[in-house]
Chain A
Amino acid sequence: MSTWLLLTITGLGLGAMYFLIASGLSLIYGLMGVLNFAHGAFITVGAYASWWTEAHLFSGVHSITLRFLLAALMGLLVGGVFAALVELILIRPLYNRHIEQVLVTVGLSIAFVALVQGIWGPDPQAFAVPPWLHETTTIAGAHIPNDRWIEIGTAAVVLGLLQLFLRRTRYGLIIRAGVENRAMVQALGIDVRKAFTLVFAIGGIAAAVAGVLSGVYFNVVGPDQGTSLLIFAFIVVVIGGLGSIGGSAAAAVVVALTQQYTNYYASAGVGDMVVVLLLGLVLLARPRGLAGAVVGARA
């Protein structure tokens, strides 16, 4: 029972990161039709920006918790700005040329990982976090590391904020309408391009959150950490249905829990295989993903 609980909470913590990455990917794809390979770079930017500022910019701050929080906020800021710049400089000039947009993000992801390796070396860097994050809380006999709660809580907050933003604000309305039918939104005289930069910035911030959290989860930040998380986020996006935030959240939980349980109860590595199998099954049964009926309605 206690093992099961530990696995579940850890799985949810991992699912939280998958969701944070997948939500941005899914929104960007839903609105612009761009599979954003550079999302891995956004994760890395967030992680390295907070690691670097924690060690250099905020080294005078005494309380480690405050220092960590400040560094994390810097990570989000840099991640969001970086993503918005990528959209403005690299994606926007290729408007409506999807294949080129995808290829540019592929090139960016490769060049960026190489650049980070060139500057800080290929080895992962130790990421200092408040010690209480690595202490455990005992619940029903299970010793659960505290950082799992932070990951789950943060993802829940981001999910709530995203839903609020999408449902209650004018820009959210434009984005939702754009996902449904972009041509119609433009025909109504709304400049949908502003929304493009916005979803990139939002996706970049969410990915940077995932980057910081992955630094907490793995204790280190590494140049290719983003890429490995990105692959599972892709699976989550396909299973959840492209363009659906709720679908991404549900799929992230399903994928991460399946992965954790099978990796533990079967053997290490089997979980990753089962997730891919799950993807195959979903595609055979429902090629548009779990929430695909909603998205597919526009086709």
Chain B
Amino acid sequence: MKRRQLLSDWLVPLAVFAVLAIVPELHFSIPKLFDQPISSPGTLQLLAACVLFGGLALTYDIQFGYTGLLSFGHALYIAVGVYLSNIAITDWHWNFWVAILFTMGVAFVLANVLGFVSLRVGGIAFAMVTLAFAQAGAVLALKDPHHWTHGEEGLGADYTRLPHVFVGIFNTKNLYWLALGFLVVVFFTVRWAVESSPGRVWQAIRENELRVEVLGMRPHLYKLQAFVLSSTLAAGGGIVYMLLYNGSTLAVTAPNFTLALLLMVVIGGAGSRWGAVLGGILYTYLNDRLVSVGSSSAVEGLPHALRIPLSQPLFLLGVIFILIVFFLPGGLAGIVGRGRPSGLRRLQEAIRPEPSLTAPQEDA
């Protein structure tokens, strides 16, 4: 038993990450899957995005899959990472490392404040409130009152102030390793967190919040903990995103950005580490590659009514998502762990309409 534990806890994840780590050194090409050889910057950029979104989806899963909080505003914290680090470096000419520490600090404080307010309501109302806060952030980035974000133009990073290993097309493999490093940190942090005693309380809240309260614990504080951990890690992912895409654009502030994370987690399997990671990787890959499928000659020959849906990756991903919700509530991870209730089934109690209508927990 003990040996099996060691295997699944350390050896399997380390083996997977080791395989992922040698990817930039693979110099051959896989014809159908990628246009260019694997070690080429174009393919590596896509793979780095896949790995990064694997990590970001996992940060979202801390709230959604493990604690049962349906947030529509996770993009806000990613956007804080993407924008604030860039603003500090490019607009304020700060030192790179100071800017990163500052960004993480701000994200931590912001998550505490906004989390405290939004967690006063539960269930669906929480989803709407987080959506509204994220929208406020999106408006702020768009209107750009202090001329920091450059609104719709976006803010390109001042590459002279970034560490040289992350600049330039020849260093794409370093960016890939950075994204992979982010995924590894998130993966082991999440495992440590959900198996710690507060982490067990999060899962208990997901199953039955009232019971946790009856046991004399304060669900509000534990939910805030999960929210802050998830949001702060997301801001870290935002910084990686900024480095990977060489700047900040409004895409990360859009409500659809959070919805994409939700799709990734559900497709992969909510409340499952490998599921969320796999969902993030697959979604990002498909979203990118389906565009080229849509413009390929095989699809061009199809009649109009078939060609249009096939040329829209988000249409296909949305349909896949709906099918998964209907027929595979455990997501892709649920295929492996058959028999046990998994994924969305375990979230039944957490996101019912009633909790939003019951009196809020008083922590004062």
Contact = CB atoms under 8 A, between A and B. Distances in A.
Interface of A: 29, 33, 35, 90, 93-94, 97-100, 102-104, 106-115, 117-119, 227, 231, 234-235, 237-238, 242, 267-269, 272-273, 276-277, 279-280, 283-284, 287-288, 295-296, 298-299
B121 A287 contact: yes
Contacts of B251: none
A287 B361 CA distance: 11
Contacts of B145: 267, 269
Contact of A107 (B121, B263, B308): B263
A227 B63 CA distance: 24
A98 B128 contact: no
B281 interface: no
Given A108-B322, A276-B135, A99 B70 contact: yes
Contacts of A280: 117, 129, 133
Interface in B303-362: 308-309, 311-315, 317-319, 321-322, 325-326, 329, 344, 347-348, 350-354, 356-360
B322 A115 contact: no
Nearest to B121: A287
A104 B314 CA distance: 14
A104 B325 contact: yes
Given A102-B124, A107-B322, 15 more contacts: A33-B352, A98-B124, A99-B347, A99-B348, A100-B329, A100-B344, A103-B325, A107-B318, A111-B318, A118-B315, A235-B128, A237-B128, A272-B139, A287-B121, A299-B359
B315 A115 contact: yes
A97 B348 contact: yes
Contacts of B313: 114
B117 A118 contact: no
B326 A295 contact: no
Given A103-B344, A287-B120, A238 B128 contact: yes
A276 B322 contact: no
A26 to B, nearest CB: 12
B326 A276 contact: no
For A94, A99, A106, A273, the residue with the greatest tally of chain B CB atoms inside 10 Å of its CB is: A99
What class of interface size applies to chain B in its complex with A? Answer: 35 or more
5 contacts: A94-B326, A98-B351, A103-B266, A284-B120, A295-B357
A237 B127 CA distance: 12
B121 A106 contact: no
A114 B350 CA distance: 30
A114 B136 contact: no
Contacts, number: 151
A112 B315 CA distance: 7
A151 to B, nearest CB: 23
A242 B139 contact: no
B357 A242 contact: yes
Contacts of A115: 308-309, 312, 315
Interface string B281-295: 000000000000000
A234 to B, nearest CB: 5
Interface stretch (B2-10, B209-217, B226-234, B254-262): B254-262
Contact of A113 (B125, B263, B314): B314
A223 B346 CA distance: 35
Contact of B357 (A267, A273, A296): A296
A118 B308 contact: yes
A100 B327 CA distance: 11
Contacts of B319: 107, 111
A237 to B, nearest CB: 7
Contact of B308 (A119, A276, A299): A119
Contacts of A227: 255-256
B322 A269 contact: no
A227 B258 CA distance: 14
Given A269-B140, A272-B139, A276-B132, A35 B124 contact: yes
Interface in B117-173: 117-118, 120-121, 124-125, 127-129, 131-133, 135-136, 139-140, 142-143, 145
A227 B142 CA distance: 17
Contact of B132 (A108, A118, A235): A235
A113 B313 CA distance: 11
Contacts of A231: 131-132, 135, 255
A102 to B, nearest CB: 7
Nearest to A277: B136
B259 A110 contact: yes
A287 B360 contact: yes
Contacts of A97: 348
A103 B120 CA distance: 23
B48 to A, nearest CB: 24
Contacts of A119: 308
Given A106-B259, A234-B128, A111 B351 contact: no
